[in-house]
Amino acid sequence: MADLHSASPDNLLRTVGIKVTRGRVRVIAALQAARQPMSHAEIGTQLGADAAVPLDRVTLYRILESLVAVGLALRAVDTRGVFRFSAAGTLHRHEGHVHFRCTDCGGVFCLKAAPPSPPKLPRGFRLAAVEFDVRGTCAVCSARPAA
């Protein structure tokens, strides 16, 4: 398969065998350009800035679900229980370092810090993945006055 992060959205859709639509192309392009995983609402707001081709909430939801189903997008739940989406090709960029998750806004930020070594597992156990998150309040949320 083509490099999921640098390939054009049209080519990615053709590669996985699903119909190339303007909405899917726009969503993949937004996910590829994103610096961090985005919520459905954040993607909708970003795409809503292009008033020439509106994309309603239900259509966006269906597009995101179809992209996750074919492996072009990743879906993860943030600390507030909100689904956040990223381009599947960004996965390799998120290995080997720690993530900071803001408990206020739900933002996910890459930290320039290596995660700790995985624990020694009991006999017969097999490690499949290690995820290490640091949680707290990001700079923007920390700067807001307390309610």
For the stretch 28-86, pLDDT in tens is: 999 998 888 899 999 999 888 766 667 889 999 999 999 998 889 888 887 778 898 98
120 in a domain, yes or no?
Answer: yes
Domain span at residue 100? 95-143
Comparing 131 with 112, the larger pLDDT belongs to: 112
Query: What is the structure's pLDDT at 91?
Result: 47
CATH number, domain at 85?
A: 1.10.10.10
Question: Which pTM does this prediction carry?
Answer: 0.65
Percent of the chain with pLDDT over 70: 87
3 in a domain, yes or no?
Answer: no
CATH number, domain at 102?
A: 3.30.1490
Residues 80-109, mean pLDDT to the nearest whole number: 74
- Measured CA to CA in angstroms, residue 135 lies from 74, 113, 142 at distances of 21, 14, 13
Contact present, 23 and 34 (Cβ < 8 Å): no
Contact present, 134 and 100 (Cβ < 8 Å): yes
